[in-house]
Amino acid sequence: MITLYGIKNCDTVKKARKWLEKNGVEYRFHDFREDGINQVPLEEWLEQFGWQEVLNRRSTSWRALSDAQKNGMDNTSALSLARETPTLIKRPVTVSGSETRFGFKEATYEEITK
């Protein structure tokens, strides 16, 4: 079973959910805002992929950070900031078995749903 993490009003998350539904793929959706961030394996993601892959550096939330926060970013500060502001996390996060992907690309979804 696939778990899709994100925020329901995010356009990219909407595209991913629409693709999964159109292709008959069962999934569980975890909304960072409604379901919370405490049960999200954020620490694992940061350890495995690093903050550069986990955080969305094009987001409004990223641009709202101070230059000092951006320049001093590491996995520890990313963990703290992402827990406070889940919109910093690149969306959607798709977890299928032991595979985790960030963002949405049709080709990637075709791979992980085979």
Alpha-carbon dihedral angle through residues 71, 77, 81, 87, given to the nearest 10 degrees: 70
- In the three-class reduction of DSSP (H, G, I as helix; E, B as strand; rest coil), residue 37 is classed as coil
- Token digits of residue 63: 């641009």
Digit-coded pLDDT (tens) for 68-85: 999 999 999 999 999 999
Q: Which of 2, 4, 10, 40 is catalytic?
A: 10
Told to judge if 10 belongs to the known catalytic residues of this protein, a careful annotator would answer yes
Domain 2-112 class, CATH top level: alpha beta
3-state secondary structure of 29: strand
Contacts with 54 (C-beta within 8 Å, 6 or more apart), sequence order = 42, 45, 46, 78, 82, 89, 90, 102
User: What would the pLDDT profile of 21-71 be if each residue is shown by its tens digit?
Assistant: 999 999 999 999 999 998 899 999 999 999 999 999 999 999 999 999 999
Q: Which amino acid is at 77?
A: S
